[in-house]
């Protein structure tokens, strides 16, 4: 039964992914000038016949719905086009940059959860205490602070002034671990390369803080407020009356039920993290997808930008799907797809 | 016949005036309750100070924002330049003051457009339902599938830098949230008795939507709208930081932070000050928004 529900929810994500493709395609059509114009650039010695021939060669003279259909088929085959600025397939470029982005995103969200979960619990249990007030003020600051500025301040303090941590990049030259998964931390553990492990962690710290601060703040607030709500419920009073130890009440009865909104928000935060990583990757010279996109914009490499935007969209849909499936595991009474 | 019409028009006018005074009354009590929230008052104060200095930037700023004194390049804060001078010898303080204009304008304009379009479309979709509602709901689901900043970056890549291009790029997706808020509000309101009563009285759909339903669903729009002003300001700064937002000749905090980032090793003040003001402004806007939430719609989940 639950399997069917999960499958249903997964199928419901398909039309959205289709929509993502269509929006990206329309974006491409909205650019002033088509790929042929871009290719020919300023060239003046081209006749109209030659331009038309080129258009026909790329099927740009077909009606728009035919172009859309062939575009969708190409995407389905995994063909995201060709990057002019880097002279390589967009898919290959994205795949190459993906591990760096995944590693940074994972470590940021991990960092956010390590801070947010205990802090959310403590602030809820010690409601209106000094700890609560301070962390709420801090979380407000975290929400209001743009990731890129936080990144710059971190570089200024910890890299430029104190010289504790490197300013940019993923690894010091010569410390790149042997390639297994592309995630440097994981690779250096797998290959037992202690020096590379230390080096890649040192490079990860600052960008992860810059990127993870806002999600940490949001998740703390959500855990706190939903814990406060659950703590007022009758079954919590009942558990206490039964003589269940206070820590068990908090962790087993309150926290588990308060987790559901936290999972939703974590899913959404991963989305904004994907957006934030463009600026943070730019600041820290992190060779991931975000920087690829930003470079692509400056070299007017539209197929690269579109391919990346589409991958970001797909990832976001997938993350939300996973969050939805996690709900049922946390609260079996819940029907998938229902808003919590 | 004619008398009947004019009498009805008179009643209508009276009703309209009554509504206006009710709105004014509501706004007054809201402000009164907001004033008790110290954090919100502090936020409002900071926002007003920054807004005023943006309006009177020309009068307050010690130097014109573009004036270059190449001999004073990288002057540290203090002395001739209170917040220091940048790589072209321009006064950082003057540029921060002028940069406030862009942030505040972008915040106000994008949120106004987003609330107006999203709210109106949400009202229509929720009220009429049918294919329009189905289409709009699917469309918003697809738009929500893109992380906001990525969508805006994609849009700016297509449109190119520029103030209005940036406003449109932010609004492309900005209205979605307000559409969903308004639509959800209408769905829960439209089966209530007062709407039925208005229908029985023969009032037109637009009257019902505008003067019956709207006042009852406007609170979350106001709260989220206020909070989103901060989001939009951060978004603008991020895009300008990347160099695809506002063209470089207009001073903005985002591009100032970018300039400072290039000289991060020798001039810490270039990025620090515009960033601090940006954080102060966004924080203050959020404090006001949270204060409004507590007064207008305490159950609304905002962050």
Quick: pLDDT tens for A49-80: 777 777 776 666 677 778 788 888 888 888 88
Residue B27: CB atoms within 10 Å? 10
Residue A36 has what pLDDT? Answer: 64
CA neighbours closer than 13 Å in the CB half-sphere of residue A73: 6
Chain A residues closer than 8 Å to B156 by CB: 297
Q: Where are the domains of chain B?
A: 1-36, 42-300
Given a contact cutoff of 8 angstroms between Cβ atoms, the answer to whether B50 and B104 are in contact is yes
Chain B residue closest in CA terms to A30: B158
Residue A337 has what pLDDT? Answer: 47
Structure tokens belonging to residue B140: 């918003």
Whole-Å CA distances, A20 to A12, A146, A289, A300, A317? 13, 27, 18, 21, 10
- H or E segment and range at residue A89: strand A88-89
Parts of chain B with a pLDDT under 50: 1
| Mean predicted confidence (pLDDT) in A144-162 | 87
Residue A333 has what pLDDT? Answer: 62
Listed in sequence order, the residues at least 6 apart from A42 whose beta carbon sits closer than 8 Å to its beta carbon are none
Whether the per-residue pLDDT at A33 is higher than 80: the answer is: no
Given a contact cutoff of 8 angstroms between Cβ atoms, the answer to whether A120 and A222 are in contact is yes
pLDDT digits (tens, 9 = 90+) for B67-80: 777 777 777 787 77
Confidence band, pLDDT 50/70/90 cuts, at residue A112: very high
Whether the per-residue pLDDT at A96 is higher than 90: the answer is: no
Cα separation, B178 vs B219, in Å, equals 11
Structure tokens belonging to residue A189: 């553990």
Residue B1 has what pLDDT? Answer: 46
CATH of region B42-300, choose from 3.30.870.10, 3.40.50.1370, 1.10.3720.10, 2.30.40.10: 1.10.3720.10
Chain A residue closest in CA terms to B267: A156
Reference A212, options A117, A287, A308, A108; nearest CA is A108
Judged by average pLDDT, the poorest of A114-128, A323-337, B89-103 is A323-337
Chain A: give the shortest CA distance to residue B292, in Å: 15
Say if the Cβ atoms of B244 and A317 lie within 8 Å. no
Cα separation, B227 vs B110, in Å, equals 12
Cα separation, A128 vs A116, in Å, equals 17
* B234 and A CB contact within 8 Å: yes
Reference B302, options B223, B230, B237, B248; nearest CA is B223
Chain B residues closer than 8 Å to A274 by CB: 147, 150
Listed in sequence order, the residues at least 6 apart from A230 whose beta carbon sits closer than 8 Å to its beta carbon are A236, A253, A254, A257, A258
* A272 and B CB contact within 8 Å: yes
Label residue A328 exposed, middle or buried (CB < 10 Å: 0-12, 13-18, 19+).
middle
| Mean predicted confidence (pLDDT) in A29-41 | 63
Residue A338 has what pLDDT? Answer: 47
Chain B: give the shortest CA distance to residue A188, in Å: 31
Out of A152, A279, A297, name the one closest to residue B238 (CB). A279
% pLDDT > 90, chain A = 7
Judged by average pLDDT, the poorest of A57-71, A227-241, A252-266 is A57-71
In chain B, which among 211-230 make CB contacts under 8 A with chain A? Answer: 230
Residue B161: CB atoms within 10 Å? 17
Structure tokens belonging to residue A329: 């595991």
Given a contact cutoff of 8 angstroms between Cβ atoms, the answer to whether A143 and A215 are in contact is no
Cα separation, B73 vs B82, in Å, equals 14
Residue B109 has what pLDDT? Answer: 96
Residue A220 has what pLDDT? Answer: 92
Out of A144, A309, A316, name the one closest to residue B282 (CB). A144
Confidence band, pLDDT 50/70/90 cuts, at residue A279: confident
Q: What is the pTM of this model?
A: 0.84
- H or E segment and range at residue A238: helix A234-242
* B151 and A CB contact within 8 Å: yes
DSSP string, B2-29: HHHHHHHHHHHHHHHHHHHHHHHHHHHH
Q: Pairing state of beta strands A88-89 and A82-83?
A: antiparallel
Chain A residue closest in CA terms to B275: A149
Reference B118, options B240, B7, B221, B220; nearest CA is B221
Say if the Cβ atoms of A152 and B279 lie within 8 Å. no
Residue A44 has what pLDDT? Answer: 64
Say if the Cβ atoms of B237 and A146 lie within 8 Å. yes
ipTM over 0.90: no
Chain A residue closest in CA terms to B235: A146
Given a contact cutoff of 8 angstroms between Cβ atoms, the answer to whether B253 and B238 are in contact is no
Out of A156, A298, A317, name the one closest to residue B145 (CB). A317
Listed in sequence order, the residues at least 6 apart from A270 whose beta carbon sits closer than 8 Å to its beta carbon are A105, A109, A215, A316, A319
**First vs last C-alpha separation in chain B:** 56
Alpha carbon of residue A196 to chain centroid: 25
């Amino acid at each position: 039964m639950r399997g069917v529900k999960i499958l249903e929810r997964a199928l419901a994500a398909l039309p959205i992914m289709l929509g993502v493709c269509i929006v990206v395609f329309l974006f491409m059509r909205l650019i002033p000038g088509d790929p042929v114009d871009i290719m020919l650039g300023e060239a003046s010695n081209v006749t109209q016949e030659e331009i038309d021939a080129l258009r026909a060669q790329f099927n740009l003279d077909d009606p728009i719905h035919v172009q859309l259909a062939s575009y969708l088929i190409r995407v389905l085959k995994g063909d995201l086009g060709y990057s002019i600025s880097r002279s390589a397939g967009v898919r290959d470029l994205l795949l190459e940059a993906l591990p760096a982005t995944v590693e940074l995103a994972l470590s940021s969200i991990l960092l956010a959860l390590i801070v947010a979960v205990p802090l959310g619990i403590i602030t809820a249990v010690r409601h209106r205490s000094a700890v609560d007030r301070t962390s709420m003020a801090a979380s407000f600051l975290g929400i209001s602070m743009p990731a890129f500025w936080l990144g710059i301040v971190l570089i200024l303090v910890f890299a430029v002034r104190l010289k504790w941590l490197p300013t940019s990049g993923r690894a010091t030259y010569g410390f790149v671990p042997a390639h297994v998964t592309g995630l440097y931390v994981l690779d250096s553990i797998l290959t037992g390369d202690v020096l590379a492990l230390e080096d890649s962690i040192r490079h990860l710290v600052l960008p992860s803080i810059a990127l993870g601060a806002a999600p940490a703040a949001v998740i703390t607030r959500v855990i706190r407020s939903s814990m406060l709500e659950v703590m007022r419920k009758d079954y919590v009073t009942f558990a206490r009356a039964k003589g269940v130890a206070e820590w068990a009440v908090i962790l087993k009865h309150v926290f588990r039920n308060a987790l559901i909104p936290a999972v939703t928000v974590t899913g959404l935060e991963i989305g904004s993290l994907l957006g934030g990583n463009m600026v943070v990757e730019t600041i820290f010279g992190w060779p991931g997808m975000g920087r690829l996109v930003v470079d692509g914009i400056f070299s007017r490499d539209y197929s690269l930008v579109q391919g990346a935007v589409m991958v970001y969209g797909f990832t976001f849909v997938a993350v939300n799907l996973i969050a939805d499936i996690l709900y049922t595991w946390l609260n079996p009474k819940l029907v998938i797809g229902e808003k919590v | 016949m004619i008398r009947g019409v004019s009498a009805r028009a008179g009643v209508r006018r009276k009703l309209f005036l009554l509504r206006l005074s009710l709105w004014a009354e509501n706004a007054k009590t809201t402000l009164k309750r907001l004033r008790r929230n110290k954090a919100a008052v502090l936020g409002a104060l900071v926002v007003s100070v920054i807004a005023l200095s943006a309006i009177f930037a020309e009068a307050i700023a010690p130097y014109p924002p573009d004036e270059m004194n190449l001999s004073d390049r990288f002057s540290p804060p203090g002395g001739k330049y209170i917040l220091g001078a940048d790589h072209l010898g321009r006064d950082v303080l003057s540029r921060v003051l002028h940069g406030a204009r862009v942030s505040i304008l972008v915040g106000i304009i994008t949120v106004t457009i987003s609330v107006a379009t999203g709210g109106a479309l949400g009202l229509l979709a929720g009220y009429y339902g049918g294919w329009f509602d189905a289409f709009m709901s699917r469309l918003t689901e697809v738009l929500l599938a893109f992380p906001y900043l990525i969508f805006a970056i994609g849009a700016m890549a297509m449109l190119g830098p520029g103030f209005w291009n940036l406003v449109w790029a932010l609004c492309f997706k900005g209205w979605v949230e307000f559409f969903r808020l308004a639509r959800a509000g209408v769905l829960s309101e439209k089966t209530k008795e007062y709407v039925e009563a208005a229908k029985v009285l023969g009032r037109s759909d637009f009257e019902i939507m505008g003067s019956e339903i709207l006042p009852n669903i406007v609170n979350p729009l106001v709260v989220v709208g206020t909070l989103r002003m901060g989001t939009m300001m951060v978004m603008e700064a991020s895009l300008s930081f990347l160099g695809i937002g506002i063209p470089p000749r207009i001073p903005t905090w985002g591009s100032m932070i970018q300039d400072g980032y290039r000289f991060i090793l020798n001039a810490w003040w270039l990025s620090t000050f515009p960033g601090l003001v940006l954080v102060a402004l966004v924080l203050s806007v959020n404090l006001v928004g949270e204060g409004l939430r507590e007064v207008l719609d305490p159950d609304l989940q905002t962050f």
